Amino acid sequence: MNPYPPEKKSAIHPPQRTDITPGKEEAKVEPAKKSDDLDILELYKMPVDYTLELPDEIRIIVRPKKKGFAAVLDGVGRFFSQGIGRPVKTILREIKKKSYTDIEIVFADNEDAQAVYWSFFEGQKCLLIWPD
């Protein structure tokens, strides 16, 4: 088992950071506001739907389990993407003799999905071990 460093994290709404560069003039912020929010990337600021791209054409798609009417819409979208799109992608990749791996992880809780995004950094070597 070899560790794979995530090469890229992509999300529709990635967390935003303020650029803090030593020697660069800082924006004037009121002291009360500055102490309340230091723009530290907290868990609640992390996205819940995202993709981790690893070497060797490995993609990990992370998303939370949808509830209610959103689950119905999600099911229809997944039917087209997985039922039609994935087989077409597999055939085209086979013609080009390129393999790929898509791993989809669905979490019951949003915080679990956010914790995975918060834990992985681009270039950090990691091992994924599925519990028994």
Q: Is residue 66 part of a domain?
A: yes
Q: Is residue 131 part of a domain?
A: no
Q: Is residue 19 part of a domain?
A: no
Q: Is residue 76 part of a domain?
A: yes
Q: Is residue 127 part of a domain?
A: no
Q: Is residue 99 part of a domain?
A: yes
Radius of gyration of the chain (CA): 19
**Which range marks the domain in which residue 51 is found?**
1-10+42-120
- pLDDT tens profile 19-42: 666 776 655 544 444 444 555 567
C-alpha distance across the termini of the chain, in Å: 17
Q: Is residue 33 part of a domain?
A: no
Residues ≥6 apart with Cβ < 8 Å to 35? none
pTM of the model: 0.66
- pLDDT tens profile 5-18: 888 888 887 777 66
Q: Is residue 62 part of a domain?
A: yes
Query: In the chain, how many domains are there?
Result: 1
- pLDDT tens profile 106-115: 898 888 888 8
